[in-house]
Amino acid sequence: MLHPRDQGDARWSVGEAIAPCSAQLFGHFMEKGVIRRGRMRCLVSSQPLTEARLAADYQRFADSPLPLTA
């Protein structure tokens, strides 16, 4: 999952069997000194994930605050 605020700065591509899908974040030029962070989340489960579960997890991810560092 890619955070909704980062979707406009992402480019997805479908590739080969080794890497069937990839994402490039912030591939465009940025001024010197600009720091950007992209937020992605991956769900791993031993049981099949339902659409309702995916929707709930994505909404929780979308509503999460931006992590800050000291």
Tell me the two tokens of residue 20.
């069937």
Task: Convert the pLDDT of each residue in 13-67 to its tens digit.
Answer: 777 766 677 777 777 666 777 777 778 888 888 989 899 999 999 999 899 887 7
Q: How far is CA 8 from CA 17, 18, 48, 51, 54, in A?
A: 26, 26, 29, 24, 21
Confidence of residue 10 (pLDDT cuts 50, 70, 90): confident
Q: How far apart are CA 38 and CA 34, in angstroms?
A: 13
> For residue 69, what pLDDT is reported?
62
> For residue 13, what pLDDT is reported?
79
Q: Across residues 9-13, what is the average pLDDT?
A: 78
Sign of CA dihedral 42, 46, 49, 53: negative
Give φ, ψ of 14 to 5 degrees.
-100, 125
Would you list the domain boundaries of the chain?
4-27+36-63
